[in-house]
Amino acid sequence: MKFSLLRSVYMILYIFFFALPGSALGASETPDLLPAGIVVQEIYRPGVGAPVGEISQVAGKVAVIHANDPEGYWAAAGNRLFKGDTIITLAGAHAAFKLDDGSFMTLSPETKLEITKSVYAPEKKNRSTFINMIAGKTRFVVRKLVDARHSEFKVKTTTSVAGVRGSDFVIAATQSMTEVTALQHTELEVISLAAPDLKPIALYDFQRTTVRKGASPEEARKVSAEEIDRLMKEFRFQPSDISPGKGMDSRQDTPQSENESLPPDKSDAMMIREEDLVSPDFRLTPDMLSRLSQEDRFRLRRLIEEERSVQYTKTSIFHQQYENIQKSILPDFPGTP
C-alpha cells in the first residue's frame, strides 16, 4: 500500500513538472503554419520571375505560398518554385524539393520554410542561396560546387544562421531554439543572432549544437548512431529517391560526357556492352546486418545511394551513345553488279 501511494505521488509530480509544461511549450512553440485568412487553391499557379527549383515529392497536405500572393496552392510533384516561395507541410505531411544547383531538401511534418534567395549561375561558377527556416525540421543535402568562384548557402532561423558550402545536415527550429545536426561528410559553421560577432561553432560529421534565443551556440557534441538513425526516420523522402536528371536539369555545372568530347566519327569507339554496367549480385543477409552498428548502417545507406547514382549515370551514357550511333548516316549501298 505504501509503495502504491508513493508511486501515485511520483506519477502526479511527473505529470505536473514534465508532461504539462512540455505540452504547453509544444503548443506555444508551434506557430500557425498557414497565415490567417489565406485560401489554398487546388490548381497550382506559378509565381513571378524565373523558377529556382521544383517540388519533387509530396505526401499529404503541402502548401506553397508565393511572395505577394494573397492565395496559397496545394503542391504536387513537378510544381516549380520561385524566389520568395514559402513551403508548408501540415500535420502528417512530407515534402521534398530541389533547387537549380542540385541541392536537395526534405521536410518533416509541420515544417515551414521560405526560399528567401536562390541565385545559381553555372557559367559564372556562382551560387547564392538563403533559406529562412521558420519552424519544423528539414534535412539539407547541399551540393558542393567544384571550383566555384563564389558559393554561399545559408539557413537562418529565429536564433541562428548556419553557413555551408556542400554538406548534409538537419535543422530543427522553434521560436526559441535551433538544433543543428551534421551528418556524414559535413562541415558547417553556426552563429547566434544574439551574438553575431562571436566566433562561430564549427560542426563536423555526426556533431550537434543547440542555439537558444538570446544565447551563444552551445559547444559541439557528438551524436550517437542511434540518435542519427531515429532522426533519419522522421523524413519520408531521401536523396536516393530522386534519380539524376529527374525534375531539374542534371546537366548543369557537370562535365561533358566522354562521348560529347570526341569527334562524331569516333563516338562508336566508346561503345560498351550494357551487361558490363550491371552491378554484381551482392545481397546483405540478415546475419550480416545484425553485425553492423547503427553508424555502419547509415554509411552503408549512403554508399548504396551513391552507387545508384553512378549506375544511373553509366546507363544514361550508354543509351546516349547508342542513340548517337542509331542516328548516324548509314553509307550508301554499292550499285548493282
| Whether residue 152 is found in the same domain as residue 198 | yes
Kindly state the DSSP code that residue 148 receives in the 8-state scheme.
Answer: -
Kindly report the pTM of this predicted structure: 0.66
Q: Is residue 29 part of a domain?
A: no
pLDDT tens per residue, range 55-95: 999 999 999 999 999 999 999 999 999 999 999 999 999 99
| Whether residue 285 is found in the same domain as residue 221 | no
Helical (H) or strand (E) element with 152: strand 150-156
Q: How many domains does the chain have?
A: 2
Confidence of residue 240 (pLDDT cuts 50, 70, 90): confident
- The number of angstroms, rounded, from the C-alpha of 234 to the middle of its chain's C-alpha atoms is 13
Host domain of residue 309: 264-327
| Whether residue 137 is found in the same domain as residue 232 | yes
Return the pLDDT at 125: 85
Q: Which of 29 and 71 is assigned the larger pLDDT?
A: 71
Return the pLDDT at 288: 62
Measured between alpha carbons, how far is 314 from 270 in angstroms, rounded to an integer? 12
Domain of residue 126, CATH code: 2.60.120.1440
Rounded to 5°, the CA angle 293-299-304 comes to 125
The residue-averaged pLDDT of 3-30 equals 43
Return the pLDDT at 16: 42
Looking only at the bridges linking them, the beta strands covering 39-41 and 71-74 are: parallel
Residue 163 cell numbers, joined: 553557413
What interhelical angle do 294-327 and 225-232 show, nearest 10? 50
Return the pLDDT at 307: 67
The one-letter amino acid code at 331 reads P
| Whether residue 124 is found in the same domain as residue 217 | yes
**Interacting residues of 202 by C-beta distance below 8 A, sequence separation 6+:** 187, 188, 189, 220
Q: How many residues does the chain have?
A: 337
- Given a cut of 90, whether residue 213 has pLDDT beyond it is yes
| Whether residue 138 is found in the same domain as residue 46 | yes
Measured between alpha carbons, how far is 171 from 169 in angstroms, rounded to an integer? 7
Measured between alpha carbons, how far is 232 from 283 in angstroms, rounded to an integer? 23
134: helix, coil or strand? strand
| Whether residue 157 is found in the same domain as residue 225 | yes
| Whether residue 124 is found in the same domain as residue 201 | yes
Q: Is residue 134 part of a domain?
A: yes
User: Which range, of 163-167, 187-191, 286-290, averages the lowest pLDDT?
Assistant: 286-290
| Whether residue 51 is found in the same domain as residue 182 | yes
Burial class (CB in 10 A: 0-12, 13-18, 19+), 91: exposed
Residue 275 cell numbers, joined: 551487361
| Whether residue 128 is found in the same domain as residue 233 | yes
Measured between alpha carbons, how far is 211 from 222 in angstroms, rounded to an integer? 16
